[in-house]
Amino acid sequence: MVSELATKDYWPRIADALLVSKLASAGAVEIRGPKWCGKTETALQRASSAVMMQDPDEAQNNLLLARTKPSVLLRGARPRLIDEWRDAPQLWDAVRYAVDREREAGSYILTGSATPYAKPRHTGAGRIASLEMLPMSLFESRDSTGEVSLRSLFEGDDPDGHSTADVETLAQLTCRGGWPWSVVGTSTDTCLETAYNLVDTICHRDISKVDDVARNPQHARVIMQEYARVSSTQAKQTSIRRDLAVRGTELSRDTIDSYIARLRELYVIQDLPAWTPSLRARSRITRTPTRHFCDPSLAVAALGASPDPLLRDMATFGLLFETLCVRDLRAYAGAINGRVFHYHDESGLEADAVVELRDGTYALFEVKMGAWEIDDGAANLLKLARKIDVSVTGTPAFCAVITPGGYAYRREDEVLVVPITCLAP
């Protein structure tokens, strides 16, 4: 049932079904993710009452109640939404206590755009479930035909679909990002501004507000810019620091590490962890994560770019296109209880993404910008598949090359070709 608080022009999200499921199995659900990705609107689809901690008219009163008698803020029809609870971390403990006492599923929904600096006393394990949201995938923003289901690929189906999207289309989508305000609420001329506005807000306010430590907006901007330069690579933070020095920004290791840590706490940076399968032959696997923003548009804005410059710099565009694909794979994998990793070893063999389900089933992905690269991507995936010790890890459910557009099909060597603009959960 849709809540009376729900907005009429709401575009369905992958998180909707996940929220319903988690509310049925836990006393409370926390929806976490970057600012402006749509957490509150998704929560309002299911909430029967709400307290908005950042409502200017009530903020001071709410904070006072949270400090003195937080149980008052929990009163209301269930599920009760507590939006941006991290402004008053004691509310977490209040919800946990209420769940323990009431023992009813689906009582509370909490949203948060940053890891709180003042930690709650209790983790909430077993009482409060977590749901991670990202900006809109191409399927959610209606820029994917949705003809190829990730779930169906794991079930052994052949991909069948066609997208007319070309690299110019993908350049626009990469720069626009998946921010609901850009997708739904603005014109083509202004939709690219959302990411720029968000980067400004992060640098000038959020990176300091997250732990109440004043930080230099210019330092935040150059660090985000350097992180954007190494998107989709396994660059170590030591090399990021060295590159900043080469570009004229001399900052200590502790300073740079602090800024990057805060960006992670804001969910702005969401690196892809390494996958470590058992291999047939000895090979040192790179454990450094692949560097990614939560949405490619933030990297574009940090670099001061737009669609035309990206098209003139295909090397950079290819890296940011990979971030877009990783964003969407994370959303689609989450819908089927999966996680996304990357693989890279000392021989240079790699998979841009590995989707692994709870039962250990997995699939290998390479991201390629052009049709001329598909053969190389397929050969790389097959080589990696042969290197994996299938007696321990099992055979991959499938190998797939992700492209911007065109046809989805199964090649003669059994590798799948799937346009990201055809993919869906």
pLDDT digits (tens, 9 = 90+) for 88-147: 999 999 999 999 999 999 999 999 887 655 555 555 556 899 999 999 999 999 999 999
Q: What is the enclosing helix (H) or strand (E) of 418?
A: strand 416-419
CA pair distance 182, 222, nearest whole angstrom: 24
Question: Residue 326: pLDDT band by 50, 70, 90 thresholds?
Answer: very high
* 189 and 231 fall within a common domain: yes
Cα-Cα-Cα-Cα dihedral sign, residues 292, 298, 302, 306 = positive
* HSE-up of residue 146 (Cα within 13 Å, Cβ side): 9
Structural domain includes residue 343:
yes
At residue 243, the pLDDT reads: 86
* 356 and 265 fall within a common domain: yes
pLDDT digits (tens, 9 = 90+) for 216-260: 999 999 999 999 999 999 998 888 888 888 887 888 889 999 999
Mean pLDDT of 6-26: 92
Count of structural domains, the chain: 2
Mean pLDDT of 79-91: 93
At residue 245, the pLDDT reads: 84
* 267 and 415 fall within a common domain: yes
At residue 19, the pLDDT reads: 97
Structural domain includes residue 9:
no
pLDDT for residue 15 is more than 80: yes
Tell whether pTM > 0.85: yes
* 122 and 170 fall within a common domain: no
At residue 191, the pLDDT reads: 84
In which region does residue 60 sit, left (phi positive, over 0), alpha (psi from -120 to 50) or beta (all else)? alpha
Question: Residue 422: pLDDT band by 50, 70, 90 thresholds?
Answer: very high
Question: Residue 290: pLDDT band by 50, 70, 90 thresholds?
Answer: very high
* 261 and 122 fall within a common domain: no
pLDDT for residue 374 is more than 70: yes
* 121 and 203 fall within a common domain: no
- Whether the CB-CB separation of 138 and 420 falls below 8 Å is answered with yes
CA pair distance 61, 290, nearest whole angstrom: 43
Last residue of a domain, one of 84, 99, 132: 132
CA pair distance 91, 74, nearest whole angstrom: 9
pLDDT for residue 27 is more than 80: yes
* 217 and 299 fall within a common domain: yes
Mean pLDDT of 345-374: 95
CA pair distance 149, 309, nearest whole angstrom: 33
For residue 30, the domain's CATH number is: 3.40.50.300
Mean pLDDT of 293-301: 98
Structural domain includes residue 415:
yes
Last residue of a domain, one of 132, 160, 194: 132
The parent domain of residue 74 ranges over 15-132
* HSE-up of residue 403 (Cα within 13 Å, Cβ side): 26
* 195 and 239 fall within a common domain: yes
What single-letter amino acid sits at 109?
A: I
At residue 187, the pLDDT reads: 67
pLDDT digits (tens, 9 = 90+) for 171-208: 999 999 999 999 987 666 678 899 999 999 999 999 99
* 327 and 215 fall within a common domain: yes
Structural domain includes residue 217:
yes
Structural domain includes residue 4:
no
- Whether the CB-CB separation of 1 and 128 falls below 8 Å is answered with no
Pull the structure tokens for residue 395.
């055979």
Structural domain includes residue 289:
yes
At residue 284, the pLDDT reads: 82
Last residue of a domain, one of 107, 132, 157: 132
362: nearest Cα among 398, 390, 325: 398
* 128 and 152 fall within a common domain: no
Structural domain includes residue 190:
yes
pLDDT for residue 3 is more than 90: no
**What share of the chain in percent tops pLDDT 70?**
94
* 155 and 264 fall within a common domain: yes
* 178 and 267 fall within a common domain: yes
Q: What is the enclosing helix (H) or strand (E) of 110?
A: strand 108-112
Structural domain includes residue 142:
no
At residue 192, the pLDDT reads: 87
Mean pLDDT of 82-86: 93
- Whether the CB-CB separation of 400 and 387 falls below 8 Å is answered with no
